């Protein structure tokens, strides 16, 4: 697709702008917005301006909404202020706000010039959404929705909402009609199918669902995503502290939130700070900064393992065979901890587990660990037997394997829930951190068991 666009740009003389635009428009006419977005991402400034001019501001907005906000901002910054303003006006308010924020971070004066050239209503929508933190309901909501007064009849509501044929109703309004009282206070929601089936004189208030699920504008975006998922909503209304409707969060916004939160959790579980930009835009220095802190923390944690080994040096000298099984045992503990912590954090992320379930989680993981511990004890005993050590050493390895499995599972199951309780992101209990923690404590348990069973 990108090759076809470049060919369309180059085939016509520069002076023949109309013919060149017609060719580009013909190519774009049967191409989806996401494919076009991928195609324009790498075009030079002059080529990009040519393509977007041929597409028109409305089609260009559809295309840029398929890009990440950072990428869309890069595209708009290559246009004139007037052209960038035209495209932002056609974007959904929440998407336009995300892109504007990225533009402002790169070039604040330039972004303000673009905002000043936007139509007053669209610019006000952006300014309103900018008042809220990015990771809250207010930060991800859209102000593009339709409302009717509670006292209206069905006929009055339909007349009020009827729009010219050349205008499109916002996609977010396809399922719900929001009912408000004087002052904008939300009092109910009417599904569209009820409105079109009811008699013209029926009151809207008689059709609405008064028990409306709402979220405050200050609610964390992860909480909003859980509300939409639990109640199986297409959109959830956002209200201010006075109960006034200020926006809605739609299912596609929630999908973006889930993707963002999942990405952050995965990066943290891998032992790295989350990236705040697309991976291919992040340079080596940025990646190093995100990873260095965790690496230093894990390095310091690993020194505990050396301290334990140094403390039990005399026992190692008396029973050299103890050293044979150190990698096996601490590796097993780390693996069990990683499996457990990732399972628990995922269950917490999707709302299946809360702090009140702490005992149930521990009991479940402890039971699982006992079964796995017995299995690993048998495997450890078999490995020790194959190495030809005596029965006391075989018993030491087997018992330690079982104890380390149960200990590791307990830490990994309980710690994320305790951290959530004190308002710390449980994803910081990454797999590498659990492994490092279990390594040191596991060695301590190993040598204490060995000291007792081997009479060291």
Angle among Cα 388, 390, 391 to the nearest 5 degrees reads: 120
Residues of the chain with pLDDT under 50: 8-10, 12-21, 165-166
**Quick one: pLDDT at residue 216?**
92
Instruction: State how far the Cα of 141 lies from the Cα of 133, in Å rounded to an integer.
Output: 11
**Quick one: pLDDT at residue 17?**
45
Confirm if 169 and 176 have CB atoms less than 8 A apart: no
State the DSSP code for 283.
-
Look-up of token digits 């305790």? 418
Going along the chain from its start, the domains and CATH numbers come out as: 2-131 (1.25.60.10), 147-264 (3.10.580.10), 279-453 (1.10.357.20)
Confirm if 91 and 120 have CB atoms less than 8 A apart: no
**Quick one: pLDDT at residue 25?**
60
Q: Where is 451: in which H helix or E strand?
A: helix 431-453
**Quick one: pLDDT at residue 304?**
59
What is the pTM (predicted TM-score) of this model? 0.61
Cβ-proximal residues to 99 (8 Å cutoff; 6+ apart), any chain: 64, 69, 72, 73, 76, 88, 91
pLDDT digits 0-9 by tens, 421-450: 887 777 666 667 777 778 778 888 888 888
Confirm if 316 and 309 have CB atoms less than 8 A apart: yes
pLDDT digits 0-9 by tens, 132-179: 888 888 888 888 888 888 888 888 888 777 755 445 555 555 568 888
């Amino acid at each position: 697709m990108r090759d076809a666009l470049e060919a369309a740009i180059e085939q016509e003389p520069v002076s023949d702008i109309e013919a060149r635009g017609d060719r580009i428009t013909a190519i774009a006419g049967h191409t989806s917005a996401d494919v076009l977005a991928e195609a324009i991402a790498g075009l030079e400034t002059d080529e990009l301006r040519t393509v977007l001019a041929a597409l028109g501001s409305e089609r260009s907005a559809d295309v840029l909404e398929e890009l990440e906000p950072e990428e869309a901002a890069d595209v708009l910054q290559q246009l004139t202020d007037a052209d960038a303003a035209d495209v932002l006006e056609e974007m959904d308010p929440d998407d336009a706000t995300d892109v504007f924020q990225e533009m402002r971070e790169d070039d604040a004066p330039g972004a303000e010039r673009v905002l000043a050239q936007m139509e007053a209503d669209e610019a006000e929508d952006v300014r309103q959404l900018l008042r809220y933190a990015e990771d809250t309901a207010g930060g991800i909501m859209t102000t593009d929705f339709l409302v009717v007064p509670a006292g209206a009849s069905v006929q009055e509501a339909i007349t009020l909402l009827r729009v010219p044929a050349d205008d499109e109703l916002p996609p977010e309004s396809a399922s719900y009609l929001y009912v408000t009282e004087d002052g904008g206070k939300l009092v109910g929601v009417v599904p569209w199918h009820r409105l079109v089936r009811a008699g013209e004189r029926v009151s809207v208030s008689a059709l609405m669902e008064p028990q409306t699920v709402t979220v405050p504008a200050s609610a964390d975006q992860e909480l909003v995503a859980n509300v939409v998922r639990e109640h199986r909503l297409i959109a959830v209304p956002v209200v201010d502290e006075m109960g006034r409707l200020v926006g809605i969060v739609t299912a596609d916004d929630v999908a973006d939130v889930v993707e963002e939160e999942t990405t952050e959790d995965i990066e943290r579980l891998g032992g790295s700070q989350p990236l705040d930009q697309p991976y291919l835009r992040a340079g080596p220095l940025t990646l190093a900064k995100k990873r260095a802190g965790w690496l230093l923390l894990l390095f310091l944690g690993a020194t505990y393992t050396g301290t334990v080994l140094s403390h039990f040096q005399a026992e190692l000298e008396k029973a050299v065979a103890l050293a044979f099984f150190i990698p096996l045992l601490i590796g097993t503990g780390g693996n069990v901890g990683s499996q457990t912590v990732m399972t628990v954090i995922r269950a917490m992320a999707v709302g299946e587990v809360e702090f009140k379930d702490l005992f149930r989680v521990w009991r479940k993981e402890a039971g699982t660990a006992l079964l796995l511990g017995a299995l690993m004890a048998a495997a450890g005993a078999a490995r020790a037997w194959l190495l030809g050590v005596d029965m006391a050493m075989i018993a030491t390895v087997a018992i330690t394997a079982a104890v380390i499995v149960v200990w590791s599972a307990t830490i990994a199951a309980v710690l994320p829930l305790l951290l959530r309780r004190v308002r710390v992101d449980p994803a910081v209990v990454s797999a590498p951190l659990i492994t490092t923690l279990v390594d040191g404590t596991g060695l301590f348990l190993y040598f204490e068991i060995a000291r007792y069973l081997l009479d060291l």
